[in-house]
């Protein structure tokens, strides 16, 4: 029995199998502090216990994307060690908040497999779920990833591609009954505008830029126990596609979300991840800027205090976003690195 | 209504107005651990709960300058996003200790305004206050900062410059009644000398040097939720005054204070910030050294266990401080980056 | 009385003297999170409270090497500020786990002294001990270090070299009675193989590589309050032996241990440090790889649930370890930087 795990190759995945991922993790205040030190996030609900309690939380929860990255990281050793590219996300729903002291475990189901025509790689579709120690779902999402084959001659599985919705439906969003935004203090949160102040089609330039250092993205990615080699090994990446380490796409998401505070300060909760694409790689030394577009607005059943905004978050590197760098057809502006589609909750 | 906040310009400030700053923050052990990892500080009272309890603290408090930086950081989005330079500090008094679990909020009053003769900038004087969740003052200080005007033609306010004392008076220092230095263990603290061993005029070379990396100062500054662009955005700073990111002056203060442990190990508490000047910019790659001068000594009313030392802390870059690089008249030695004047408490 | 401490030189040490080291430290969850962010470690017992509780721990303890480094760091200001090289370790025994909330203090006894023939340096042998606030031993180990003399003409002490065993005996390992591996979940831990699956002589290539940045090793080393100048001061090291900062050898140990997860995931507890040598210096930019050899196996008295593996952990830089870079006689392969010999506990 080999003692080391080289990771799964495409032909190792079976449709409908379930993967129970290793390395449970008890999170703490320190995860929030490190996340803050690495991203500069300022959303008040994740920053202060009294603010969070005033709207029904037990205390300040971990940032939603921090929770997502911790769950995602657990899937990497089983799923994407031999990945060529992380292709997309869909159907991500955020459930219960993740609090300091909670323990996260993760599992995934293989929901689709399709070999590529070159027979050297294939796409694996997975539904992954992170749960707390009470078995409650913290986040549940689909991603698909291109994985190398160990052996080009290995037989291809019957192609199976799941039908994925373009977005989570507003009725599927988790809006806890304990959540009560009457206690939400917009002055403390840092902006007056609420859900009713945003219009579909509106675009917001988030103004600020943030430069990324090697130590920063590596620390963030290790904090998530994400073991994908491309982020950490300069010795091997020197020979690789880019000649250098690639920044974990999730760190780019987190930085773009932190930048989006300036314009979306009251988008206090990520409710769903509708989709997302890492359009281009990001490297240490790059400076990220971001802009957002309001794609949709939804009232929430039985709630007059809170609404949902469907937002598109676009990050660009070394390019301020006053001109809203975008895509034309399928071709993206050369500076764009991230195109993310999510639902956020906001006081009305 | 614009969704993003470009920050205030000089003409946006009004004399006597109060600014309630956003983003309350619940601090934790993690802030202390990160501060330690970023500065290397060794003051025992901030390092160990039993040491702190033995002299009356509830537990190890956060480092005083860490508390200061968190409060300072909250003022930045409202005050100094468009600042050209942070000009000085005065009248800083440290109040109750900041403990893990406490929540800090900050507010500032505009106490002075004076447009500069070039009409392009002006100086804003503010008294800022950080309070805990019980409304107790953690730190209260004055700073003045040069802020750009949005429009050169905007009318100048009536000049108003507050009269600031050269130093906090010893009688104004907060020396809690619960503080009892009979339990102070100098062996554990790392040095035998106490208040009575220091003489006015004495100079101490702190010997050690510390090199700063981009990731380090950026992590520290984000931890304080300080959003000043000059610290984070290499893409824009490349075009700026220095061609690169500027290190937050508070990080320089913290490193100099950490270096001062070697010679001032028993200066366990910063009691007041009399004044301070960031003499020259500091950049990643610079190595900081520091020296101190005893400016004054004060007995404290009714206390035989503890005294106050007024200290001048000078930091220099790429220049060991055995020759005590100083100023001659108004001109500083080329290596000096910081000249800080503070009161510290020390067992007698 | 000089206020600053230049550190001890060789002639300042006396045989049999005891050094009570300064700066007690209360550890927290944040130490574990930072250690994770800096090393990427994945051992489940240090990652999740429920996992640790299931085998008898009160909660997830700090990583054993993290505890070691914190204790080691406390000895540096008294022992190795003026050290030329850290020469070796022996007789290291890990005692009670170190939990968040515990306070560590350290003391050392000088157990040997031998001046070198050049009269410019000498070797100091110390037994150091880290204890928690209840006086229980966390770790107890011997190290020897080459220290500069202040004055070449200072008289040499009578040479005294302690007799050190090549390894800790299995019967000396601390295997707590509360430890009960029946609750150990190998799926959660990440590997199926247990003690009985390993054979003496077996070699394991840990596959992965990790590149080190300046900010990372400096943050780790400051977290341990280790003040050795060579790790932090680029201004002085530019003139030094290597022209640059040297990475703390303990950080190399931690990274190699973290890499060893892939192949030794169930080696959940470091029980003893038999010996170790920092074969060559490591610098920022280096990529570490590691391999292990099973040196010995031991059953433990009265325990059917857990066994001990004596392991040799070899780290190499910029050299994948599929060819197991090793030593030939006394000469090491040019890539090797660490050769560590330790006992680990593993479920049988």
Give tens-digit pLDDT for A55-90.
999 999 999 999 999 999 999 999 988 888 888 999
Distance CA B193, CA B190 (A): 9
| B141 near A CB under 8 A | no
User: What's this model's pTM, rounded to 2 decimal places?
Assistant: 0.98
Q: How confident is the model at residue C223 (pLDDT cuts 50, 70, 90)?
A: very high
**Chain B contact for A263 (CB, 8 A cutoff):** yes
State the pLDDT at residue A85: 84
Q: For the residues A241-253, what does the mean pLDDT come to?
A: 96
Whether A333 has a pLDDT exceeding 80, the answer reads yes
Kindly report, residue by residue over C245-258, the tens digit of the pLDDT.
999 999 999 999 99
pLDDT at residue A1 is higher than 60: no
Residue in B188, B193, B213 closest to C214 by CB: B213
What CATH number does domain A10-152+168-176+190-347 carry, 1.10.3720.10, 3.40.50.150, 3.40.50.920, 3.10.129.10?
3.10.129.10
Torsion of CA A264, A265, A269, A271, to 10 degrees: 0
Which residues in chain C are closer than 8 Å to A233, comparing Cβ atoms?
A: 208-211, 287
What's phi and psi for C39, nearest 5 deg? -120, -25
Q: What is the mean pLDDT of residues A194-202?
A: 98
* Residues C137-149, mean pLDDT to the nearest whole number: 96
Preferred mutation among B27, B28, B37 to probe C, highest tally of C CBs within 10 A: B37
The beta-carbon neighbor of A25 closest among C28, C40, C48 is C48
Nearest to A232 by CA among C55, C193, C287: C287
DSSP state of C243: S
For the cut 60, the answer to whether the pLDDT of residue A154 exceeds it is yes
Q: Which of B204, B205, B213 sits opposite C215 (nearest CB)?
A: B213
Which superfamily does CATH assign the domain made up of B12-161+181-347 to? Hotdog Thioesterase (3.10.129.10)
Give pLDDT tens digits for C67-113.
999 999 999 999 988 888 888 999 999 999 999 999 999 999 999 99
Domain C16-347 has CATH 3.20.20.150: no
pLDDT for B238: 96
Q: How far is CA A259 from CA A255, A335, B218, C212, in A?
A: 6, 16, 15, 28
**Number of alpha carbons in the 13 Å side-chain half-sphere of residue B29:** 23
Q: What confidence tens digit (pLDDT) does each residue in A10-35 have?
A: 999 999 999 999 999 999 999 999 99
pLDDT of the residue at B332: 98
- What integer pLDDT is reported at residue C5 of this predicted model? 86
Q: List phi, psi (to 5°) of B200.
A: -60, 135
Q: What is the pLDDT of residue A86?
A: 87
Residue ranges with strand state E in chain C = 18-20, 25-26, 83-94, 103-115, 121-131, 137-148, 203-205, 210-211, 269-278, 287-300, 303-317, 327-328, 331-332, 336-347
**Alpha-carbon gap, residue B268 to B63, rounded angstroms:** 9
Boundaries of every domain in chain B: 12-161+181-347
| Residue among B301, B299, B309 nearest B344 (CA) | B309
Task: Give the phi and the psi of residue A281 in degrees, each rounded to 5.
Answer: -70, 155
What pLDDT, on a 0 to 100 scale, did the predictor assign at position B1? Answer: 52
Q: Which of A166, A141, A173, A139 is nearest to A307 (CA)?
A: A173
Mutate to test the interface with B, among A37, A201, A292, A344 (most CBs of B within 10 A): A37
Closest residue to B222, CB basis, from A39, A50, A190? A39
Q: Residues 46 to 85 of B: which have CB under 8 A from any C CB? A: 47-51, 60
Strand, coil or helix: A229: helix
Instruction: Characterize the bridge pairing of strands B336-347 and C83-94.
Output: unpaired
**Helix intervals (H) in chain A:** 29-39, 44-47, 49-53, 64-79, 186-189, 214-223, 234-237, 249-259, 261-264
Q: Is A222 on the interface with C (CB under 8 A)?
A: yes
Q: Kind and range of the H or E element at A333?
A: none
pLDDT attached to residue C1: 52
Q: What percent of chain C has pLDDT over 70?
A: 100
Which helix (H) or strand (E) segment holds residue B97: the answer is: none
Give which of C2, C4, C74, C135 to mutate to test B binding, by max B Cβ within 10 Å: C4
Residue B339 burial (10 A CB sphere; 0-12, 13-18, 19+): middle
What pLDDT, in 10s, does the model give residues A259-278? 999 999 999 999 999 999 99
Please tell me what DSSP assigns to residue C12. Answer: G
Q: Is the pLDDT of residue C150 over 80?
A: yes
How do the pLDDT tens digits run along chain B, 348 residues long? 589 988 899 999 999 999 999 999 999 999 999 999 999 999 999 999 999 999 999 999 999 999 999 999 999 999 988 888 888 999 999 999 999 999 999 999 999 999 999 999 999 999 999 999 999 999 999 999 999 999 999 999 999 999 999 999 999 999 999 999 999 999 999 999 999 999 999 999 999 999 999 999 999 999 999 999 899 999 999 999 899 999 999 999 999 999 999 999 999 999 999 999 999 999 999 999 999 999 999 999 999 999 999 999 999 999 999 999 999 998 999 999 999 999 999 999
| C30–A22 C-beta distance less than 8 A | no
CA–CA distances in Å: residue B23 to residues A51, B14, B115, B134, C103: 9, 22, 30, 17, 32
Interface contact B188, partner C, CB < 8 A? yes
Length of chain A counted residue by residue:
348
Residue B119: Cβ-neighbour burial (10 angstroms; 0-12, 13-18, 19+): middle
| Mean pLDDT value across chain C | 96
Size of interface A-C (CB pairs under 8 A): 130
Please say if the pLDDT value at position A140 is more than 60. Answer: yes
The SS3 of residue B238 is coil
For residue A171, the distance in angstroms to the closest alpha carbon of chain C comes to 34
Q: Which of B3, B225, B232 sits opposite A42 (nearest CB)?
A: B225
Give the up-direction half-sphere exposure of residue A329: CA atoms within 13 A in the CB hemisphere: 1
pLDDT of residue C84: 85
């Amino acid at each position: 029995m080999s003692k080391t795990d080289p990771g799964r190759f495409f032909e190792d995945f079976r449709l409908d199998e379930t993967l129970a991922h290793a390395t449970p993790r008890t999170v703490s205040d320190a995860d929030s502090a490190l996340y803050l030190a690495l991203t500069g996030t300022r959303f008040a609900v994740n920053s202060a216990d009294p603010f969070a309690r005033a709207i029904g939380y037990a205390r300040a929860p971990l940032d939603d994307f921090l929770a997502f990255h911790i769950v995602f990281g657990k899937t990497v050793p089983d799923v994407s060690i031999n990945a060529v590219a992380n292709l997309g996300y869909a159907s991500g729903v955020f459930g219960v908040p993740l609090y300091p002291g909670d323990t996260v475990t993760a599992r995934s189901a293989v929901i689709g497999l399709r070999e590529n025509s070159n027979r050297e790689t294939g796409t694996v579709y997975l539904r992954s779920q992170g749960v707390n120690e009470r078995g409650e779902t913290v986040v549940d999402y689909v991603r698909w990833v291109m994985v190398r084959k160990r052996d080009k001659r290995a037989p291809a599985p019957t192609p199976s591609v799941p039908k994925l919705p373009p977005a989570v439906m507003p009725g599927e969003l988790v809006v806890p009954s304990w959540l009560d935004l009457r206690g939400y203090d917009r002055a403390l949160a840092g902006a007056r505008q609420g859900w009713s102040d945003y219009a579909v089609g509106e675009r917001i330039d988030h103004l600020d830029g943030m430069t990324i250092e090697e130590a920063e993205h590596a620390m963030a990615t290790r904090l998530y126990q994400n073991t994908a080699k491309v982020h950490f090994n300069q010795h091997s990446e020197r020979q690789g596609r880019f000649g250098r380490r690639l920044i974990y796409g999730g760190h780019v998401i987190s930085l773009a979300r932190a930048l989006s505070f300036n314009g979306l300060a009251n988008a206090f909760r990520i409710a769903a991840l509708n989709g997302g694409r890492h359009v281009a790689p990001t490297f240490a030394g790059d400076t990220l800027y971001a802009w957002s577009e309001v794609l949709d607005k939804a009232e929430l059943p039985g709630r007059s205090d809170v609404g949902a905004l469907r937002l598109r978050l676009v990050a660009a590197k070394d390019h301020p976003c006053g001109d809203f760098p975008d895509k034309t057809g399928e071709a993206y502006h050369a500076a764009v690195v991230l195109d993310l589609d999510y639902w956020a909750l906001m006081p009305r």
